[in-house]
Chain A
Amino acid sequence: MFVIKGVPASPGVAIGPAVLLPTADFAVANQHIEATEVKSEIGKFGRAVEKTLADLDANEKKLRDTLGGEYANLMSMHKMILQDPMLKDATIAKIKKEHFSAQAAIFQTLQELASSFDKVSDPFFKERRNDIFDVGKRLVGNLQENKGAFWASIRRPSILIAHDLFPSDTISLQENQIIGFCTDLGGKTSHTAILAQSLKLPAVVALSNAAKQVKEGDTVIVDGENGLLIISPDRYTLARYKKTQREIKKAESLLQTINHLPTVTGDGRNFKLMVNFDPRTDTKENKKLITDGLGLLRTEFLYMNIPQPPSELEQYQIYLSTAKKFDMRPVTIRLADLGADKIPDFPLDEFDKDNNPFMGCRGIRLFLKNPELMHTQLRAIVRTACEVPAQIKIMIPMVSSVEEVRHVRDALNKALAEFAKEGKKPVNKIALGAMIEVPSAAIALDGMIGDIDFLSIGTNDLIQYLIAVDRVNPEVAHMYDPCHPAVLRTIHQIIQTAHQRGRPVSICGEIASDVKMVPMLLGLEVDILSVPPRMFLRIKNRIRNLNFEACSDTAQAALLASSSEEIRSLVEQMNQDEDS
């Protein structure tokens, strides 16, 4: 038995055989195989060479027809590199004698070859190392069985072990028999983690090197409650976790009994509890939840995996069917927060060579540079608002200044005027609000508050920007800390500023569904919490068991605290009081 500690990304416990996602990473230097696999690994290498040769042939022909001989010659040189006896012999020797996987053997051979080139002083020859790696990447690309074949090969409920997972991979996990997953990279609030929560898939992330420690077929336990990956558990541990699984199931059925009850604290203070809704993962169970509305509809997914941006009609159909599910209740649609880790397939100049994408052209910044994209989305939303009785609210992501809000307001008015010409008008007035997640917007909120109808604190990004910590970098992910004094004080200041002007404040980030942090947020007088559907009843139950006065006292004490540690002990104390 072997236990690795990571970061809990999605609660629950999953037990099953491990499957390893073929790594898309070229630089695998140290991956070993069993002696019995040598033959098949050499065969794999041979097939990859053949396939690469065919690719290069096709490219050569294409280039000769279009760009002419010079470029085509480069391809024929690449073909020679591919068939070079030095590459072939050294790679096969590494597989045979040292039992490296084909990919590791290729990579090591290429590195050795490249380092010989590095020794040459003539810059012309040094450049050739790029040609070598170019060929190597192509070769490794062909070595990896294609993804479709990988998913199809999973025949029983399994646990996926991956170096990293893209949100687009995560979304299709369940249909591919995956019951839980672990990744080396990632953080609790990465979008992969958030998707895992809405899919109810137990997940642990930031495990550093799990992908190298687990072997295909090993029995593993994903403990999404405590952030543990347990490899080959002993009988006792296995039994204990099976019991935990049953307990979790039981607790969830108990929660169903409070669904129809109001979200009110023990001493009578009312709060609104909404859901972060994702139409792609709407389950039967979610449909039964009695909520106060849709607190956050993320729309980035509409822009992913398609060759061009979604049309007004495509968007409208999804917004319409979503809004209908919430009848008269508020429906908050966030303008697409593209950029950072959500890069669509269609080309936009802004995404080229962005070394620091979380501070780059994302969210509203991208939309203001591509007004036609924003116009289409605003029209789709307005069109929806003309059809349904729900109160449609538009939320602007990544706002850093009041000017951005005004630009969007103008664009919204333009879209409204276009519909007015056709004699169409929203059933309810559309509200325009801002996602407060950039520190500048939080600090200078008093200057912006008059221009917005509501606001929502995007705690995930706000914390990341306040502490200057990249939440997907495992080296610093642990510094991402909702209990940092700066975080609580900033949330407090936002809420106070908003309340002075009568604007309600919601929180839709990860922190809102953290059972331990909820008392603190209530104490800071947030009006609305918006949580993933799977956390909805747990959070409702928590609020119903709290005393608002006590929350308020704790929050006041926390605002005076000078360290995360002090705040965390206040949080813990609050939770112990409740448990006893």
Chain B
Amino acid sequence: MITQEIKIINRLGLHARPAATVAQTAGNFECDIKIAKGPIEINAKSIMGVMMLAAEYGSTLRLSCDGKDEKEACAAITQLFADKFNEEI
């Protein structure tokens, strides 16, 4: 299992569209992918779960991937956050 801290650096936070992107990307992998914010941990493949985190600008999340393709999954999702979901160019 890989665990990774990620920071929300896009201004709007993890709103509907980024949440959709995260869930979609997570859905491409076989491994279990969880994202936690404080005490709440959700399935990253669930768009509703990701939205429920209501992760705002500046907050820190904990990503954990567990399974065959965990390395690739972790890299792909971390990249999404780093690219600010391609929203702010």
Which residue numbers of A lie inside 8 Å of B, CB to CB? 73, 76-77, 80-81, 84-87, 113, 116-117, 120-122, 124-125, 128, 131-132
Contacts and interface: CB of A to CB of B under 8 A. Distances in A.
Interface stretch (B2-10, B43-51, B62-70, B72-80): B43-51
A120 B52 contact: yes
A113 B49 CA distance: 9
A86 B43 contact: yes
A contact patch SS: helix
A122 B52 CA distance: 11
Contacts of B48: 81, 84, 86-87, 113, 128, 132
Contact of B52 (A76, A116, A124, A131): A116
Contacts of A121: 54
Given A73-B20, A85-B45, A86-B49, 7 more contacts: A80-B47, A81-B48, A84-B23, A120-B54, A124-B15, A128-B51, A132-B48
B41 interface: no
A122 B20 CA distance: 18
B contact patch SS: helix
15 contacts: A73-B20, A80-B20, A81-B47, A84-B46, A84-B47, A84-B48, A84-B49, A86-B48, A113-B48, A113-B52, A120-B54, A122-B13, A125-B15, A128-B48, A132-B48
A9 B40 CA distance: 54
A133 B82 CA distance: 32
Given A80-B23, A122-B56, A125-B54, A86 B16 contact: no
Given A77-B16, A77-B20, A85 B46 contact: yes
Interface string B18-32: 001001100000000
Contacts of B11: none
A76 B24 CA distance: 11
B16 A128 contact: yes
B71 interface: no
A125 B50 CA distance: 11
B43 A122 contact: no
Contacts of A132: 48
Contacts of B45: 85
Nearest to A128: B51
Contact of B17 (A73, A81, A117): A73
Most buried by B among A113, A121, A128, A132: A128
Contacts of B54: 120-122, 125
Contacts of B20: 73, 76-77, 80
A81 B49 CA distance: 10
